[in-house]
Structure 1
């Protein structure tokens, strides 16, 4: 296996010049950077190893000082190469500045770090070696030691990163950032020139605290070694391509919590489970006497291991098998399920795998098709269905695998149409205002300070605020177990709130939306089913007292209720029959014809979506019954007969089953035998109910889509809204 861990030697200046000038001092900023580096390594469970070396220290502790004591004084190796730990983090927090002048010590400390990284006694293997140097570079260098240092860093392939108040990456940056110290001494100028020379000689990098701190604020994610899933991709019966699939996207979950005894955190906890029969005797049952069972209603169905072995589906060998192809547009976004996304390549150790897979990828890309496949992870796992989509980039080509749902995974929702009420339709001005807001808040069209496109909330750069907060709390509790948790840091708040830059761009669009969508306060709708609401809805106390004192009889009380209840002027889709009955109580003929027109419009609203019409059968039947009975009562037949005839023609096309239900309920035309003014004869009315619609074959599939839906549940749900 390839070596991926890194060796890092942190070299920190703790001399006098690091903590006497600014607030916060350079030493505090350096400690903050080191703290964040160690925390990132801990929470990402990194295998990298870290050594800590202080120079300008009161103590001397390094291997080179044992040989040449006079040259390597005040250089202290506090930790040799080890993985990041809480002990190291706690030690860094306790570091204090000293009164030692760091003249000619820095290069000695760097040589000690090089000696530590290249030590022959260290048998560990590292992918790379790096020195992180933290200082403000105000003291002189030894020219002789600088030459030796550059040679040692180059020969041992050790990278050098310099971090301080300013960056020495180039001349312009150094000059612009050096305003921290307005008056430079000759020694400081010489030191800066020397560090630039070192960086140039060893091809090193330099960063300022302003560059490093924002980059280290967020905790680092755990590094995952890419492990391929090797299998075969079968196309037809004669073509098999060896493939390797790598997980590209998968939800990251933090480590599970461990139970601990609060008073002794290191105490070992042992768990024990006992089983008892749920009866009066409470007899204990051994674990061997327990078997799993499924509960169906009140019945328990045992399911033993033997049953499981006999009934378990045998998926067969692992791999992918192409079931067919379809247009990419047929696979909608909401069809993407599963907990991961995989990139599929040809196996590296199979010469022809990539050669065969390449034209397959390009063919899918050119035809805008995807391959629907059967996916089996292993012989013991259940099969899944998914699709392979082509992905062609400049440096690589592959197939992207995403799982698709089965029929049981899909859910059907039925909602009232948005345009059912004309009063809810937005105007052109409102639509334009919302379009402008969407355009202004387009995350793909934001720009940075230099005018370059900078997409907001890219998954590649957007950290999980939950994990960041979790790590923040863990780090705080590790050092302050008795203190309450700190507030959410500003960096985490910035993730969970809209970007200030985006809000600033969208400010004018937001104001326009506020102006065109006026807000007004509305009172809660009164419930007419309670006596209190019936007697107090919209009426003053004096009015109620006066009406109650007029007459204590039943007729008087009923008249009070009629006066108090607001009249129904609109038939809704929730309970149209009740609304219709309230509207036709008026003796005004105009109100009756208006009620007929509105309830007919409700029926057409139900039938607007042909797929969902089946869910409104009971409501439409109730409307037809009530409408026929009311028209018979007032002897008005023309509007009803026109409606039921039009409904019959419409149902023949979209829902023959509903017409059969209407026919079985004998909800037909009103003939002259019932109302003398009707234009329909009894024979025509009887023939009307004998017509049987022709059920088209293609409608069967549409009905099957809703075969598992209980209509009564939907009707009950809508009635309760």
Structure 2
């Protein structure tokens, strides 16, 4: 379970925060709020009710504090009480946090208000308590009772973080020139307070610069298996080995936040889902969540409409075998189902150098001894050290839960100074292994069996040498002053662009709904291209490869190359079709649609003939969709639609395709072609078989934007 958190942000909204200092094009308040909004939206994105946030306004026009006596706390307001922050709260805060018309207000007094808020909310419970003070340090600050405040912060275990606009910070290397004396005194006062309570003090420039560094989420491990590692059967042999262990993820795929689907609410009684995360930021009282309803029909001429609806309980279970649905009854399935018990049985050992790393089939897990079980820890440690000393791996049969299918796993020892465990990965069964034979890369074998070492498809010695030098020059390692090899891109600085870019965009859109999303940070894009120094170092070797391989530029594909084509004639001048008495094809057969469609276009002499062939192909595609059993015909439909599109581009008749695919989309989405065909439309979108735009064919009237809108809309 995640730690409970109580965080209060004290934001200076004084009149002086309207100013634009040090050449910035935004006000000091907007600049400071970049950091505050990032911290708040990161907390909101977790969706945790135990991650509570409060906001206190310093130097506000009014006074609103949760204290009986407001004397000494003038121009301080609690804008957000401690609690879970949701999207409506962020919208309200965005409107309320504006520069005020006064610079009156004591930052030290605002700290007392924040401490009071945290103590009242958390009581004596275990919480991670923090106070962030963001200010420009201007105005008056009272130095009375600073030692008592520092003692209170330490006693209540509250961490104080002070971030100042243009505060001097020698560690970061920033110093403001011509600083006001009052501001300099306030900076010294705040620095002394932070040092007394063991807090954090810094300039806001450093905090904002660090926002580009993605924050790695620390996930608390949850055991995926708890049971015994066994060597032998303890029910039959007293000498069998049993060790109580737990299994945790070592590596796991981190996924970006998924989108939620909402529709306009049609009735007053529709259920309203709660707003808990940033994905639901646009949801209001007029929206409701999307619910999917699945119905099953069979052909029945005795009922109205020719189809009868069935309940799911009336259906028999079937499994896909190729294109065939194979039925299996529940009684037969129970016979084939393997009865298993949760356990990890050791079934063999293998030398480490005999194992091929490509056999790994999953992410890795760690096997550790059961917590608080000293006997199990000693036994597992003995097994780990035995495997390590013999340079062996163990192979085990793992059943994670009772009734689950067994897995074959590999167990490798891992020993570190303060930690030891077994690393576990899944191995393939015999049926999972596929052996493919490929022709050798260093020779060509002719039909007669002769081996040819020099061939146009084989690289020359000069090309092999040039490629070897090029690969070596692209090495991403360097040497330090002492000659030691240093990795220029450490793994800890390697972040997922997909994951962190989407999270960054979601946080930005929550605060700035109408502004464009800023570009990704350099830390995320630095690995998308080789470093400049590496590219410069490798350029001469790349030029050598181009020369050795005789690389030539391929001319672009000609558009509409078949429109005004010259039919190739044999050298003899004879008409082969006439000699063989071949008739020009008048009808396309659905069983051989693509070849016959191309043949019909090849012999078409008029535009009307092209239109006729296209019309026949379009009818075949629609019939194939209408008669498809599930998705059995979807692949053929996508293939035929792709051929139709390419041929009409070549024959410079894009309108024929566009006039067909637009109503086809409407028929699919409105279920006019044999029921729900949403999956087919998804396949068409994935294959990018939308409208032909002007960028593809000059004869098209469709713009690129219209073509994108056609594929993206539903």
TM-score (norm 2): 0.66
Structure 2 residue 47 is matched with structure 1 residue 48:
no
Query: How far is 1:347 from its partner?
Result: 1.0
1:37 alignment partner, one of 36, 39, 42: 39
Distance 1:479 1:197, change over 3 A: closer
Aligned partner of residue 353 in structure 1, secondary structure: helix
Q: Within 2, Cα distance between the matches of 1:454 and 1:210?
A: 29
**Are the counterparts in 2 of residues 336 and 402 from structure 1 also a CA contact under 8 Å?**
yes
CA distance in 2, matches of 1:206, 1:5: 24
What corresponds to 1:7 in structure 2? 6
Give the match for residue 336 of structure 1: 360
Q: Equivalents in 2 of 1:414, 1:431: separation in Å?
A: 23
- Identify the match of residue 376 of structure 1 among 399, 409, 428: 399
* Residue 137 to residue 297, structure 1, CA distance change in 2 (3 Å): closer
Shift of 1:277: 1.0
Given that 2:478 and 2:485 are in contact with CA atoms closer than 8 Å, whether structure 1 keeps it comes out as no
1:323 paired residue among 325, 334, 347: 347
Matches within 5 A, 1:424-573: 424-426=457-459, 430-443=463-476, 445=478, 453=486, 455-456=488-489, 458=491, 460-475=492-507, 486=516, 489-491=519-521, 495=524, 498=527, 502-518=531-547, 519-521=551-553
Map of 1:419 onto structure 2: 442
Tell me the secondary structure at the aligned position of residue 495 of structure 1: helix
Partner SS state of residue 283, structure 1: strand
Q: Superposition RMSD on alpha carbons, in Å?
A: 3.6
Partners of 1:431 and 1:255 in 2: how far apart?
Answer: 45
Q: Structure 2 vs 1, CA of residues 407 and 510 (structure 1 numbering), >3 Å: closer, same or farther?
A: farther
1:203 to partner: Cα distance: 1.1
Post-superposition CA distance 1:108-141 (Å, at most 9, x none): 011111111112x645834321111111223342
Structure 1 spans left out of the alignment, 5+ residues: 537-543, 556-721
Q: 1:275–1:286: 8 Å Cα contact kept in structure 2?
A: yes
* 1:72 aligned residue: 73
Equivalent residues of 1:325, 1:371 under 8 A apart: yes
Q: Label 1:409 to 1:299 Cα distance change in 2 as closer, same or farther (>3 A).
A: closer
Structure-2 separation of matches of 1:116 and 1:86: 22
Question: Aligned equivalents of 1:207 and 1:440: distance in 2?
Answer: 42
Give the equivalent residue in structure 2 for 1:304: 329
2:116 matched to which residue of 1?
115
In the alignment, the residues of structure 1 paired with residue 365 and residue 383 of structure 2 have an alpha-carbon distance, to the nearest angstrom, of 17
Asked whether the 8 Å contact 2:359–2:428 carries over to 1, the reply is: yes
1: distance between equivalents of 2:309 and 2:91?
A: 50
1:363: Cα distance to partner? 2.2
Matched, 1:294 2:332: no
- Match of residue 171 from structure 2: 173
Measured in 2, the distance between the counterparts of 1:97 and 1:524 equals 58
8 Å CA contact 1:44, 1:220 repeated in 2: no
Aligned to 1:697: none
How far apart are the structure 2 equivalents of 1:108 and 1:454?
49
Aligned to 1:191: 186
1:146 aligns with 2:146: yes
- Alpha-carbon offset, residue 96 of structure 1: 1.2
Q: 1:53: Cα distance to partner? A: 0.7
Distance 1:267 1:234 in 2: 52
Shift of 1:160: 0.9
Report the CA distance shift for 1:486/1:59 in structure 2 as closer, same or farther (over 3 A).
same
Deviation, 1:200, is 1.3
Shift of 1:8: 0.8
Report if aligned partners of 1:132, 1:160 keep a CA contact under 8 Å in 2: yes
- Give, in angstroms, the shift of residue 88 of structure 1: 3.3
Return closer, same or farther for 1:329/1:206 CA change in 2, 3 Å cut-off. farther
Report the alpha carbon displacement of residue 144 of structure 1 after superposing the two structures with TM: 0.7
Superposition deviation, residue 234 in structure 1? 1.0
**How much has 1:273 moved relative to structure 2?**
3.3
Q: Distance in 1 between matches of 2:502 and 2:102?
A: 40
Alpha-carbon distance between aligned partners in 1 of 2:213 and 2:376, rounded to the nearest angstrom = 41
Q: CA deviation at 1:251?
A: 1.7
Q: Give the deviation of 1:552 after TM superposition.
A: 5.7
The 5 A counterparts of 1:684-695 are: none
- Report the CA distance shift for 1:425/1:127 in structure 2 as closer, same or farther (over 3 A): farther
Residues 1:129 and 1:268: Cα distance change in structure 2 (over 3 Å): closer
1:59 aligns with 2:54: no
Q: 2:372 aligns with which of 349, 355, 371?
A: 349
Aligned to 2:712: none
State the SS of the aligned residue for 2:250: strand
Q: What does residue 415 of structure 2 align with?
A: 392
Query: Could you give the per-residue CA deviations for residues 413-452 of structure 1, whole angstroms, max 9, x where no partner exists?
Result: 332222235245445554454444444444454889xx99
Instruction: Return the structure number with greater relative CO, CA threshold 8 A, min gap 6.
Output: 2
Contact 2:342 2:398 in 1 (8 A): yes
The equivalent residue for 1:135 is 135
Mapped to 2, the partners of 1:162 and 1:432 lie a distance apart of 59
* Residue of structure 2 equivalent to 1:239: 241
The answer on 1:363 being equivalent to 2:392 is no
Is residue 404 from structure 1 mapped to residue 427 from structure 2 by the alignment?
yes
Q: 1:388-433 CA distances to partner (integer Å, 9 max, x unpaired)?
A: 1111122211111111111222222332222235245445554454
Shift in alpha-carbon separation, 1:102–1:462, aligned structure 2, 3 A: farther
Deviation of 1:261 (Å): 1.4
Distance 1:196 1:222, change over 3 A: closer
C-alpha distance in structure 2 between counterparts of 1:384 and 1:186, whole Å: 71
Question: Which whole-Å CA distance do the structure 2 matches of 1:259 and 1:21 have between them?
Answer: 41
Residue segments in structure 2 that go unaligned for 5+ positions in a row: 234-239, 267-285, 445-453, 577-714
**Residue deviations 1:560-613 (CA, integer Å, cap 9, x gap):** xxxxxxxxxxxxxxxxxxxxxxxxxxxxxxxxxxxxxxxxxxxxxxxxxxxxxx
**TM norm structure 1:** 0.65
Aligned residues: 521
Q: Which residue of 1 aligns with 2:649?
A: none
Separation of aligned partners in 1, 2:123 and 2:197: 25
